[in-house]
Amino acid sequence: MEKITKKLAAWSLLLVMVCMTWGCDKKWPINGNLDGYWQLMTVETKANGTKTDCHRMYMGIQLHMVELTDLGGNGYKSFFGEFSYDEDQDIVIIKNLKGKNATSDDGQLAAIPDLNPYGINAQETVFKVVKADGKALILESDYARLTLRSF
């Protein structure tokens, strides 16, 4: 009887360990190296070649959402919007940006002049991913080139 109890305890312990190992499956970000929090360093507009240094402006990318935030007291509004990444074409689409109201959007589409400081000039902007290595991110649209660093 004691032999059976020891074998049962050993098998039970093994089963618990296997179940715990399966539960530790790593979750991969759906946007690869684009997911995370980024500090906007510069915005270079293509029309006039003006390169603007950004002071404490941030972009958060997670799942299918993007958040644009000014924490530097620049007077810019903050926004939530939709984010999609096409890995095959290496492009990002940011669209439907709405003003931020605490932890949700305010329901109103953002005015384009309010988006310009973030390097966005339309409610739907397509960016080519120039660089995305987890430490640096460079996005380029027909309007501007954004340089970001991991935060």
Chain centroid to Cα 149, Å, comes to: 12
- Model confidence at 19, pLDDT cuts 50, 70, 90, reads low
- Model confidence at 77, pLDDT cuts 50, 70, 90, reads very high
Residue spans of alpha helices (H) in 1-79: 2-22
Q: Which two tokens stand for residue 27?
A: 């979750």
What is the C-alpha to C-alpha distance for residues 76 and 99, in angstroms, rounded to an integer?
11
Q: Classify burial at 66, counting beta carbons within 10 Å of its beta carbon; exposed 0-12, middle 13-18, buried 19 or more.
A: buried
Select the more confidently predicted residue: 56 or 104: 56
- Model confidence at 24, pLDDT cuts 50, 70, 90, reads low
